[in-house]
Amino acid sequence: MTDAVFTPTADWSSFAGVLRTRFARVRSLSTALVAALSDADASCQSMPDASPSKWHLAHTTWFFETLVLRDFAPGYRPVDPAYGFLYNSYYESEGDRVARPIRGMLTRPSLDEILAYRRHTDSAIVEVLDDLPAPARQLVLLGCNHEQQHQELLLTDLLHLFAQNPLLPHAYPSSRGHISAAPGPLRWIEGRQGPTEIGHAGPDFAFDCEKPRHTVWLGQHALGDRLVTNGEWQAFIEDRGYSTANLWLSDGWAWVRQNGIEAPLYWRRDECGSWSRQFGLDGLGSIDPASPVQHVSYYEADAFARWSSVRLPAEAEWETAANGFDPELGTFLDSPGAVRPAPAGAQGGIRQMFGDVWEWTASAFLAYPGFRPASGAVGEYNGKFMSGQFVLRGGSCATPRGHARASYRNFFYPHQRWQFTGVRLAKDI
């Protein structure tokens, strides 16, 4: 468990104080994200891949209650034994659970009851934190990072839900301004060549799938200095990118035809039939040609790269380029304005490595050489999902600041696009 998730460098008494602050900050942010939602808003489920906001709030609380309080706090009694069945996500070792596609049927408990459940669990964690053994404190840290993942999922699931409503309501106030200046032509930044190490190394937190650190070989390559923009994507559409079969992987072309895909998710046509509008958490507004394209699938990203006569980056190429950048600098969840990616700045060199949109890579989500899952329930966290998915890197405008790092490996199936997913191009030299 320790080697797979967290290895401390400081003494535990010092770590406990930092962890207490981190726990309070993470838990309060989740509550703030739903402050403007009604019980109905928080209970609905728009598709099988999404979950209700209320479920995210309860599941992250169940994680702390079950894996920390139940197992490490003597005498603790769960708030409601039924919550284990209602709010377990995919942990087979924790028993049966409500199937993911029907989480929206959980109209009870109410949102107020779930918020009370959170307050009770928070108080219990704070009360016992100083006395917890090292493995339990590691689980609290894992739980904080786990909840940050669910904060982003809560927002993306809420966006998908509101996009199904004919009224197109907004979740947060709009701050859309003028159309941004074009970022200029894409430039190519040559990457490192030869043997290099990737993967997490060091004592600070990382998920198990980021380890172990290992050596890979990089051929001569270059990365685009910025993300692909909406304007560039509009050119792809106008050039019949979505109707040109030889640009697409076979599965991607079948997906396009079966689902009538014509543009990124949440793009809307105007009264003249042009793709000029985009729905976001701040409602319906104009598409900014200079902003990064978002909500595209791996299939779309790969087709766009083929149309551009280049390719998507390998995750090792991306990580090597990202090393040395401050992962907290970028457009993240706490950036001013609504949750929306920002145009590339004017500075030279490679840009937008962190924040804005998750960047699809050409790398399958597989175990690194020497990977071993942890024992117990946390061993189910990532390892069992290493099949049929692709790696994304860098974080997004819905990612809490401080949650991203160069070694972070997000992963989704190639058809999925309700997350804040975008594109950076790469090419061989």
Closest by CA position to 118, among listed 32, 27, 34, 51: 27
Q: What is the Cα–Cα distance from 103 to 90, expressed in whole angstroms? A: 13
240 burial (CB, 10 Å; 0-12 / 13-18 / 19+) is exposed
- The angle at the Cα of 386, spanning 253 to 144, to the nearest 5 degrees, equals 115
For CATH 1.20.120, the residue range(s) in the chain are 2-163
Per-position DSSP letters for 327-349, written without gaps between them: TTSSB-TTSSSSS------S-SS
Show the low-confidence residues of the chain (pLDDT under 70).
1-14, 174-179
Q: How long is the chain?
A: 429
CATH superfamily, domain at 188-428:
paralog of FGE (formylglycine-generating enzyme) (3.90.1580.10)
Residues 6+ apart with CB under 8 A from 224: 186, 187, 188, 189, 424, 425, 426
Which helix (H) or strand (E) segment is 286 a member of? strand 283-286
Query: By the 8 A CB rule, do 195 and 215 touch?
Result: yes
Closest by CA position to 31, among listed 42, 40, 18: 42
Which helix (H) or strand (E) segment is 137 a member of? helix 134-163
Residue-level pLDDT at 348: 77
Residue-level pLDDT at 376: 78
Other C-beta atoms closer than 10 Å to the C-beta of 170 total 18
Q: pTM for the full model? A: 0.94
Residue-level pLDDT at 6: 42
Q: What is the Cα–Cα distance from 83 to 59, expressed in whole angstroms? A: 9
For 2-163, give the CATH class. mainly alpha
Residue-level pLDDT at 174: 67
